[in-house]
Structure 1
Amino acid sequence: MKKISIIGGITADIEGTPYNRLIHGDSNPGKITLSYGGVGRNITENLARMGANVGFVSVAGDDFPGRGALRELKELGVNVEHVKLLPEENTAVYMSILNIVGDMELALCNMDVLERISNTFIDEVAEDIGDSAIIGIDTNLTAETLADTADKLSGIPLFLDPVSVTKAERAKNIIGRFHTIKPNRMEAEVLSGIRITSEEELEKAGQWFLSEGVERVFISLGAGGVYFTDRTDSGILRPKPVKVVSATGAGDAFSAAVLYGFVQGLSVKETALYGMAAAAVTLESKTSVNSMMSQEKLKAYLSE
């Protein structure tokens, strides 16, 4: 199978849920969970579970969560030779404390290590990943490194997941260098400078991206589905009802499906349908990647 490479972030996600009302300034009994996240890492895990030939490029601390995240991906068959564990750094961590009704009360994050995905690091791996059919990139890279990476890998189709509204700004000036992009509505507004409040404005933004040089555009609309376009087809797909356990990671699963659809030669609409199926499978799971993700699960969803 054609090779897919992903360049992006690894995080350790720590979440605390109290058994009773939170008392500030005190130790609160509750449940604490640790899981692995990061947009790039989540896309990579989803691809591995879909059966793709995938390699991951990233950095993490040489610590308990970093080694654990690396081991988990390796066991799934991911090529992790270009994941660096740095002894002098801590793995990126997002730590949140919820209140008794499940809303976030407080959060703390440390993403400093991801800035070590530098121009020099990309230089070191560029030749090895140069035979990829497509390379997915998330905006955990700095704006400078994103631009440098797009230059170095310009002969290969590049896919962009903007990660967040704030981080989407990093790719704004180089958006035309990406073959395929998958922003949500707010990220698309930042990248295009077009306010999107209607289907007409959605189409206008899609056409703007194509005019900049992007070949395929998928704009996720949350519960409203997804808008897709290329130079031959466009439309909006609405989701069918699904029991939502958690929305976390659904966008990452969609991105993984877009990359998989590319190497399988699917049309833009077929790819969007595949992405919707992957997102729906993830919505059924409490974790950011559904451990039940598989080709069989996706085909069953699509057949319905």
Structure 2
Amino acid sequence: MNTEKIVVVGSFNIDMVVRADKLPAPGETILGNDFFMNSGGKGANQVVAVSRLGKEKPVFIAKIGNDLLGKNAMEVLRAENINTGYVFIDPEIPTGVALITVDKQGENSIVVASGANARLCIEDIDKAKDIIEKSDIVLLQLETPIETVEYVAKLAYRSGSKVILNPAPMRNIPDSLLKYLYAIVPNRIEAEMLSGITIVDSNSACAAADAISRKGVKNVIITMGGSGAFVKCDGIFLHISAEKREAIDTTAAGDTFCGAFCVGISEGLSVTDAVKMANTAAGISVTRKGAQSSIPYRKEVRI
């Protein structure tokens, strides 16, 4: 399997993380415990997952600032065996930053200052057009401009690539984007926002998946954390459970899932088997602190 056939288009952020006993309520100040910084961003997390769970260089298309954080970003990505030839540098805007609070149950609250991520534009994508058109899979999220995401999806779809969207952070998604997708991977909250249906059990999850698939998406995978995932594919709806694990930090668990799912699909696994692989990888990640530092390697993921 050649992960260079997987292209991830998205964000790079520096994560600034505070661990605390609980997440603060609006207007509340609380005392935290330890603080640390590490590399993150949904796009970067996902391409690291692809690299660690695959065998060869995936391609990352992103934009960073011409600052110390950006220089560090390039070093981190290259150390992860990622093709950085299409990571563009903005001369004016700083590298993105994410402020993350993690409580003692491992749940998190995240605020992102997009920085250079917001400047990833169609002109940048045109510079990477050849590599996108030669890809087997293109993985997207929503921490970069929506017009850029749709442009990539359309370009990849027309060249026969499988386009997979992780709709996070959730925003208004045009139906014109959804029709280019091979699969969409929302979490429960995102699926509720996409479908207008509150998910409380298997029946409501099925209804939400149906509503999303009717918008033109072939495969719908709703991630449910420790409960696994609900999957709608080939007209069939099923629940794929996950192994129970004690979570200490859920940061990047969804990103690990998305990267692992892409690797599974690229290796010829069925959608359901790729979800099983993704559940396993994400389950390992929640037992570790941090974002990219929590992502497992292939030897740790048995399917």
TM-score by length of structure 2 reads: 0.86
Asked if 1:128 is matched to 2:131, the reply is yes
Residues 251 and 71 (structure 1), Cα distance of their counterparts in 2 relative to 1, 3 Å cut: same
Give unmatched runs, 5+ long, in structure 1.
19-27
Aligned runs of 1:157-168 on 2, under 5 Å?
A: 157-165=162-170, 167=171
Percent identity at matched positions? 24
| Equivalent position of 2:43 in the other structure | 40
Local SS of the residue matching 1:154: helix
Q: CA deviation at 1:64?
A: 1.6
Q: Can you list the C-alpha shifts for 1:158-204, whole angstroms capped at 9, x where unaligned?
A: 01011123x3x235552222111110111112222333333222112
Q: 260, 265, 268: which is aligned to 2:263?
A: 260
Sort the Cα spacing of 1:295 and 1:229 in 2 relative to 1 into closer, same or farther, 3 A.
Answer: same
1:244-278 deviation digits (Å, cap 9, x = unpaired):
12111111111011100111111122111101101
Pair 1:151-2:187 in alignment: no
Partner of 2:297: 294
CA deviation after TM superposition for structure 1 residue 11, in Å: 0.3
Q: How does 1:118-267 map to 2 (within 5 A)?
A: 118-155=121-158, 156-165=161-170, 167=171, 169-171=172-174, 173-231=176-234, 233-267=236-270
Q: Which amino acid aligns with 1:14?
A: M
How far off its partner does 1:89 sit? Answer: 1.7
Partner-residue secondary structure (3-state), 1:36: strand
**Alpha-carbon distance in 2 for matches of 1:129, 1:151:** 11
2:179 counterpart SS class:
helix
Instruction: Please tell me whether the aligned partners of residues 153 and 180 of structure 2 are also in contact (alpha carbons under 8 angstroms).
Output: yes
Q: Tell me whether 1:67 sits opposite 2:49 in the alignment.
A: no
Alignment RMSD:
2.9
Whole-angstrom distance in 1 between the partners of 2:162 and 2:71: 30
Is 149-158 or 133-142 further displaced after alignment?
149-158
- Kindly indicate whether the alpha-carbon contact (under 8 Å) linking 1:176 and 1:209 is maintained by their aligned counterparts in 2: no
SS at match of 2:275: helix
Q: Any gaps of 5 or more consecutive residues in structure 2?
A: 21-30
What is the alpha-carbon distance in structure 2 between the residues aligned to residue 126 and residue 226 of structure 1?
A: 33
1:16-72 Cα deviation digits (max 9, x unpaired):
468xxxxxxxxx997431101111100001111112431100001121221112211
Mark the CA change 1:144 to 1:29 in structure 2 (over 3 Å): closer, same or farther.
closer
Distance across 1 between alignment mates of 2:71 and 2:133: 26
CA distance in 1, matches of 2:106, 2:243: 26
The answer as to whether partners of 1:233 and 1:269 remain within 8 angstroms in 2 is no
Equivalent residue number for residue 13 of structure 2: 11
The within-5 A match list for 1:72-91 is 72-91=76-95
SS in 2 for 1:85: strand
* Contact 1:95/1:107, CA 8 A, preserved across alignment: yes
Question: 1:139·1:170 contact (CA, 8 Å) conserved in 2?
Answer: no
Higher relative contact order (Cα pairs below 8 Å, separated by 6+ residues): 2
